[in-house]
Structure 1
């Protein structure tokens, strides 16, 4: 006890002790107690009541290095405590260890050496709201181990060694909202494992070793809104596996080994808004793959090794706003492949292998605002290829191999404000190349091979603010070439081969 008292006084500089004759004046909201003894005696904490006003003490942290045992009645004077943290404990808790903590709302047992949870250890914690049991060595969750925690809202079992969860392990957790089981060794779940969690809103099963996900695993989760399954070993999303999750809004399946989406894989997910499939192995997006996701707003297929997209792959996604296909291996897009995406605002096709854009490839994208085609293998932009994109504001076609831009290639882009064509192989610009850009503000043509800019090339670009022609092969600029750029503020001509300028070059 004396060692604990000495450390306590050092930790708090003794400032909390104002008057030993009147304990009511000695107040602390939180207290940290260190012990390096192998045992804590049942009276080791009794001195606290003789030093401070216990009614004001809300939080206690016990750092129990080397300690193997905690007596049952060690907390008998802490009945007003709302938060208790125990760290560096290598023993096990006995039944009724916490029975005196009637007002405890948060119990943090993180970073200990605890290897088992026995039934009854949480007896008496009728008001507990949050239980954090992360970074321990639990291998088995026994049935009804949390049975008495009827008011628990959050249960964190992250970073344990859990391999098995018995039926009824979550029995009694009628009010649980958040369950975190990430970073364990779980390979599978028994049928109806979560059946008691009617009010659960977030379930984290990330970074386990799940190979499969069977139907009925998620039965009972009628109010689940967020399901995390990233970092597992799942290869196939089977039909109807999520059909119980009527209220799910976000599904994370990143960093698995998914190569197949069965028909009706996402059946029942009527409320889903965000679907993450980043870093998987889905080479083919089959027709109607996402057909049941009527309310989906964001679909992330970043680096999924996608090679082929069926013409009807995105059918049914009538409310989709963001589609991210960056970092795949797509080399061809069929005409009308995005036809159902009437509400799409952003389409990211960066870092694919697209060779050519077919006519009508962007048909249906009437509300698209941002299109990224950077880092592909495009060599030619055909006339009117973007004509369906009447609301487009930003177009990035940088880092391709474009040599030829057909006349009126950009026709229809009446609201475009940003056009990035840097790092291509463009040689010549004429008056039809940039036709119809009345609202364009920024144009980047740097790092091409441009050596000719014909007169009137920039005709109609009255609102242009920034023009980058740096790192090209310009030798000469025509008189009055920029005359219509009356609002231009920034012009970059660095690293060209211009040796002289006419006095009327920058008129306007």
Structure 2
């Protein structure tokens, strides 16, 4: 090569290099300008504050990925609080392959088809936004897509069949979208697909297309809660790569295909809450199964013996089926077993003694099988990892395994209604975290320990043979709420230390051999509702301090050896049930008890007397006022005038009192009781308790009473709805129809409606279960019921900590989600607010007060009724121009509750002239630190992320447009990221 040629080549290369560098610099400048325009288009959100031209190369900006040439290949802006649309010029980034805009507030009217111009785009995630409209049928133009995620948006219409032409797809996620129609079988053509998510599509009713089983590379299939009907295709056994299968919470029927358990890679199987029937197929090849949940179906037959070959199995849930036979012993030897839930079946025979011996068992739940016999596995607690044991309602016997005393993490043990005997393992009484211990209806013996577990809140040990004295160490259980030790052989005196439990609401020590006197220093019993010490050998007088118990409503000290007069101070109590019968009491009955409601309260006390004949005891004597001589002179006058006048006055007074009482209590009415379950009371047990002293709440439609049933120790809440005008027949039928619907609901997070009592004068009584911890509103906003008395007589606010608040949010979301998505037709609450979220003794949330009273009011009839449903601060904005209610109206109100939980503020407490929702939205828009808005009383570093997320979720739920709000199912899914659902209770202690 000549020198001239070499020089030419050198300059050519140099020119090309310089041109390339110049061109590259030009492209970089253009791409930087595009990114800055994106930032401007999205109104400069704070998370993109570092996107500035002065901040070196855009390839160093947060959330940007470049190739070696400095060209943008990826934009990941997940959870950046971005609002607005996807601009067309984003596709001017010619090498863009990845775009993640998930978890923002982006909108559009239809799928952003401008993205078609991003010719190299492979990964697109638009999930958890507010994109609406339809997905076009030409979406197959995005031919290079390997991942498409548009889940949790507001798209509607049908899933376009052309989506089956995106043959490069590996991941397709279409969950939580209001699509209708059915699943297009064309999805089965996506031969490279590995992940398919079609869950939570509540508007679709469809079968699982058999074409889906052609997806031979599919590893993950999630189609839960999507109204699937029909059978699981038999050819599902041909999906050789399948690892994770979730078809739960649908309406699938028929048998489980035998081919399913021939899949060698299968690890997770969720088929719970369907209508599957037949027997469980044998496990042939699917030996890698880790979690198998077939609960809440109609499966019959026995558990196949080859389940003992599932050596990787960690969770087995078969509860609430009709399975029978013996539980294979080999399951107890599985080395990986952690969660074992087989309650509510028909299993029989003995349990393998190897449970807990070879695995780190945490949950062991075999309750309500009735046919199970023999002993609990002696190795159950060997590894000390147990959290919950539920074995109640069986025929188990023997002693409790001593290994249970080694389980320092045990929180729940319920073995009631079996045939256990012997002593309770001593280690159980010292477990630090034990909160609920239920031993009732067995034949246990031995004495109570010197001390009870510090965190114990509920102890039920009735109907056993426990003996000895109640130790003074009982006061160690400072959190004890419920103690039932009735029908045992306990003796000695009632220790004064028992009265030092400030949270105790129920104390049942009846049918024992207790002696001595009643405790007199009872000032700490500020929460005590029910006290039953009957059928013992207690003597002495009734202390007058019993009249100072502020919330006592049930007092039973009958069949003892009490003497002396009844303290008049007892008349200060608001007693729904009083029984002092079969003692040695003397003197006059306090005037407060001289009415028919206490007719059987004083029987078999021969030296008691009363002026009222309705009490079924002797009438008190009165001394003569005049000598016989004077009396004889007055006889003619008395006979001629005084007696007739007095009789006339008595008759008139009797009629007035009777009319007043009947009007007051509704006793002149004809009542009809409509029950929704087995009841142990009648309307006559309810009516006497409807007194002003028993009122625990009131509203525009009526009052709520706390009523104790005289025939038992049961306490109920009664909502009385009174309408002075006769109801139109149509509205009356609608009301009864809705009551019947609500009466049929059985959900752990919805208050149980026991019955409805209707009168001929259009009065309604709705009788609900009573919940000890009252309403969320009282706990959050410092009402009197959430304050504990101090020694000085002052009050101290009790704070509801963040874990309990999150637990309450999840429980309330479960209840509303069930109403909106699992009831047919859906039920809209119409008045969701914190005062309608009630809490049981474990702070489980239950939705209450479904606004039924509003159906009883004609328009304009009550000044206290709004023209629309709801309460100020919780009312969705759409009520400004329409009174139509929808599920999204409930979502708005629930969002306000989330804001209350996160901030501690009231719904109407934003700032001047604004509600909490408006205040929260403005704080969010201003971009300041969210932590400054959180409740200072519970704000801890370890909870800040969760609290901020709940605050943001509250803002999303209170969006102005109903279409932008998520569904309750979506809300629940988000909340469950931070709070795991209860592992037992398995709602209602046996299933949701």
Q: CA deviation at 1:315?
A: 4.0
3-state secondary structure, aligned to 1:323 = strand
TM-score where L is the length of structure 2: 0.35
Q: Is the 8 A contact 2:197 2:222 kept in 1?
A: yes
Q: Is the 8 A contact 1:79 1:103 kept in 2?
A: no
- Rounded to whole Å, the distance in 2 between the matches of 1:164 and 1:442 is 51
Does residue 352 of the first structure (1) align with residue 355 of the second (2)?
Answer: no
Give the equivalent residue in structure 2 for 1:179: 196
Q: Is the 8 A contact 1:359 1:385 kept in 2?
A: no
Give the equivalent residue in structure 2 for 1:106: 124
Give the equivalent residue in structure 2 for 1:249: 267
Once the two structures are superposed, residues 395-417 of structure 1 have per-residue CA deviations (whole angstroms, 9 ceiling, x without a partner) of 95548357x864x3557x87885
Change (3 A) 1:358 1:367: same
Q: Which of 250, 273, 287 is the equivalent residue of 1:270?
A: 287
Q: How many residues align?
A: 428
Within a 5 Å distance, the mapping from 1:123-162 to structure 2 comes to 123=143, 125=144, 128-132=146-150, 135=153, 136=155, 137-142=157-162, 144-147=164-167, 149=168, 152-158=169-175, 159=177, 160-161=179-180
Q: Is the 8 A contact 2:188 2:215 kept in 1?
A: no
Which has the larger displacement, 274-283 or 421-430?
421-430
Q: Is the 8 A contact 2:354 2:379 kept in 1?
A: yes
Give the equivalent residue in structure 2 for 1:334: 349
- Rounded to whole Å, the distance in 1 between the matches of 2:170 and 2:244 is 15
Q: Is the 8 A contact 1:240 1:268 kept in 2?
A: no
3-state secondary structure, aligned to 1:260 = strand
Does residue 454 of the first structure (1) align with residue 468 of the second (2)?
Answer: yes
Give the equivalent residue in structure 1 for 2:225: 207
Give the equivalent residue in structure 2 for 1:295: 312
Q: Is the 8 A contact 2:417 2:441 kept in 1?
A: yes
3-state secondary structure, aligned to 1:267 = coil
Q: Which of 53, 72, 83 is the equivalent residue of 2:99?
A: 83
Give the equivalent residue in structure 2 for 1:11: 43
- Rounded to whole Å, the distance in 2 between the matches of 1:426 and 1:268 is 44
Q: Is the 8 A contact 1:194 1:219 kept in 2?
A: yes
Q: Is the 8 A contact 1:269 1:292 kept in 2?
A: no
Give the equivalent residue in structure 1 for 2:761: none
Q: Is the 8 A contact 1:318 1:343 kept in 2?
A: yes
Q: In structure 1, list runs of 5 or more residues that go unmatched.
A: 32-52, 483-489, 502-508
Q: Is the 8 A contact 1:351 1:374 kept in 2?
A: yes
- Rounded to whole Å, the distance in 1 between the matches of 2:231 and 2:164 is 26
Q: Which of 182, 186, 193 is the equivalent residue of 1:163?
A: 182
Q: CA deviation at 1:422?
A: 4.3
3-state secondary structure, aligned to 1:282 = strand
Change (3 A) 1:140 1:442: closer
Change (3 A) 1:305 1:12: same
Change (3 A) 1:338 1:256: farther
Q: Is the 8 A contact 1:311 1:335 kept in 2?
A: yes
CA radius of gyration, larger in: 2
3-state secondary structure, aligned to 1:454 = strand
Give the equivalent residue in structure 1 for 2:297: 280
Give the equivalent residue in structure 2 for 1:362: 377
- Rounded to whole Å, the distance in 2 between the matches of 1:115 and 1:368 is 53
Q: Is the 8 A contact 1:324 1:348 kept in 2?
A: yes
TM-score where L is the length of structure 1: 0.62
Alignment root-mean-square deviation, CA: 5.5
- Rounded to whole Å, the distance in 2 between the matches of 1:56 and 1:388 is 59
Q: CA deviation at 1:169?
A: 4.2
- Rounded to whole Å, the distance in 2 between the matches of 1:206 and 1:376 is 31
3-state secondary structure, aligned to 2:275 = coil
